[in-house]
Structure 1
Amino acid sequence: MQRSEPDIRLLFVRIKEGDKEAFNRLFRLKYEALLSFAKNYLGDTGKAGEVVSDLFVWLWLNRAQVAEIDSPDIYLFKSVKNRCLNALRNKNKVVPIDEQPLPVQPSADNTPLSLMEHKELSARLHALIENLPTQQRQVFKMIKESGLSARQTAKILDLSQRTVETHLYKAVKKLEEEIFLYLGYSPRKKQMKKMLAVLW
């Protein structure tokens, strides 16, 4: 679920005043999403963790400046992106595909067969997401997994909002088509969208 920017801005104001609890809360709210984002660039969880931790250390040491940041969510993701790109430039590495598992939320029908089918479909959908073109995969994960808006994603990736929305549309359309093929039949569109919403 997407968290509202005003809440994050308030945390930034409190951090500027030296509030350690506000800093810890920001860390708990954003660490996992930033780590997943960093892994898209670096592949390695350990290196991604170093980048994100380094950003939080920098934020605390430079807390006098953070209250001036207008869009904290965008600032955090852009900072991680820039640090990852610097790390890649320094090591002259190719960006590998991230291997974050897709969260599984079984339906109310918890029979062993339904759970097995859900697990199978979830694994299939995860594999399909990983095989999307790079930009589509990145946009899809930022919006559907990290909870960012299309506008925020566009600013972070230096793309137009329209381009981001197009990438998301193409990604969802491709996933729907592949799931249709995998199931062997074509459920009604509404049912399909509901299924995808549960799985991501």
Structure 2
Amino acid sequence: MLKPEESLLELFHDIGSGKETAFNELFMVYYEKLVLFAKYYVKQNESAEELVSAFFVRLWLKREQLTAVSNPAGFLYNGVKNAALNHLRDQQKHNIVIGEQEAGELFQFTEEGIASELVDQKELQQQLSMAIASLPEQRQLIFRLVREDGLKCKEVAILLELSVRTVENQVYQAVKSLAETMKSYLGYLPK
């Protein structure tokens, strides 16, 4: 069975050389771990399995590049994280289109007061989403992992190879920045 980092580097080198047995071993050892990791992002087991399976297919297709990887475990987790984030981005775009269609239907079937309240909530959510998207990339990722995905700062620190204090500081800075951004929209500083 696979041993720590040294063996993983050897395994990546063997896969890069085209050895299917090495690829199968990597798949057997890391598939479930990567599915659990992807599930933190996509929240659905089926989607996580599809993402990881597709990631392994791409890994095999680009196997020659694996010999240049110096941190194989980080490479695997970052690859799955990026695939999951891309999936969520695509899903969010799809949901916005559906949400706009539903909003159009709400205007037809609700009283004006209720409809305007729904529009205000949607607009507030869009403003908040834009504010989150405008955060620096690392701060945005940490904020989403802690506030939206419910991970603890210590878990995020281990995942991203940062100190717990750095993660806590990034969350604080993100909340402070979002509150300031939303202040101009709301007319008061949110708590």
Residue 47 of structure 1 is matched in structure 2 by: 47
Q: 5+ unaligned residues in a row in structure 2: which ranges?
A: 96-145, 170-191
Task: Give me the TM-score of the superposition, normalised by structure 2.
Answer: 0.53
| The one of 161, 164, 168 aligned to 2:163 | 161
Structure 1 match to 2:78: 78
Determine the structure 2 residue equivalent to 1:64: 64
Structure 1 residue 162: Cα displacement: 3.8
Residue in 1 that maps onto 2:183: none
Q: Which runs of 5+ in 1 are unaligned?
A: 95-131, 144-149, 168-200
| Contact 2:153–2:168 (Cα < 8 Å) also in 1 | no
Give the superposition deviation at 1:91.
1.2
Match in the other structure for 1:8: 8
Q: CA deviation at 1:163?
A: 3.5
Distance 1:67 1:48 in 2: 26
Identical aligned residues as a percent: 32
Q: Residues 80, 24 of structure 1: CA spacing in aligned structure 2 closer, same or farther, 3 A cutoff?
A: same
Q: Which is greater in Rg?
A: 2
2:153 touches 2:164 (CA, 8 Å); kept in 1?
A: no
3-state SS of the aligned residue for 1:36?
Answer: helix
Greater helix fraction, Structure 1 or Structure 2: 2
Residues 135/163 of structure 1: CA separation in 2 closer, same or farther (3 Å cut): farther
Q: In 2 relative to 1, CA 164–47 (structure 1 residues): closer, same or farther, beyond 3 Å? A: farther
Tell me: higher relative CO, structure 1 or 2? Use CA pairs within 8 A at least 6 residues apart. Answer: 1
TM, length-normalised to structure 1: 0.51
- Over 3 Å counting, the alpha-carbon distance change for 1:87 and 1:28 in structure 2 is same
Pairing 1:137–2:178 present: no
Stretches of 4+ aligned residues off by more than 2 angstroms = 132-143, 160-167
Contact 2:38 2:80 in 1 (8 A): yes
